[in-house]
Amino acid sequence: MELKAENRFTLTRELFVEGSKRLDQEERAPFVRKIMAVLAVVWVLTSAFMVWKGAHWVLPTVEFVVVVAIYVWMSVYAPRVAARKGWQSVVNRCGEDGMERDTLFYEDRLEAGSGSGTLIVNYEDVRKTLESQNLIILLTADSRGIMLLKDGFTKGGMDVVSALLEEWKR
């Protein structure tokens, strides 16, 4: 099998956080917006009902504080905790200096990882390509993110990878 492209880089904490934020924007943020819209509608309806029934203003205020707390937890705290835990697992496996990432692109598949932790993905299983400042992230059907450093190609380039992905989408 002929090697078409290769991407190598050291996954540092900064790159990991950048990739995690971009994945969060794409995958989790739309879900959080939908949940918050539902909670806001429920809050408006229950507050209007309470005011109509002559209830004290404290209950709608407490409900509002709870809705805001849920939003802050879902949109700020939970992503930070997930990124911290994810990076900690990298540190536990590879040390503080990060992990060497090597992604090889062949005619029919890509192999991403390092050593025994190699992930083999068929191109038809790549459902989306995301981009951040320094990274390109290939999102697979099972919601795995394969990070590539934009300037980390030692053979080929993103144009070769894009052509392979496009060819296998047909």
* pLDDT per residue as tens digits for the range 115-161: 557 888 999 999 999 999 999 999 998 888 899 999 999 998 899 99
Higher pLDDT, 162 or 28: 162
Print the domain residue range for 57. 17-94
Within this chain, do residues 87 and 148 fall inside the same structural domain, yes or no? no
* pLDDT per residue as tens digits for the range 103-120: 999 998 999 876 557 888
Within this chain, do residues 83 and 151 fall inside the same structural domain, yes or no? no
Q: How many residues does the chain have?
A: 170
Long-range contacts of residues 65-72, Cβ cutoff 8 Å, at least 24 apart: 67/36, 67/39, 67/40, 67/43, 70/36, 70/39, 71/32, 71/36, 71/39
Within this chain, do residues 103 and 48 fall inside the same structural domain, yes or no? no
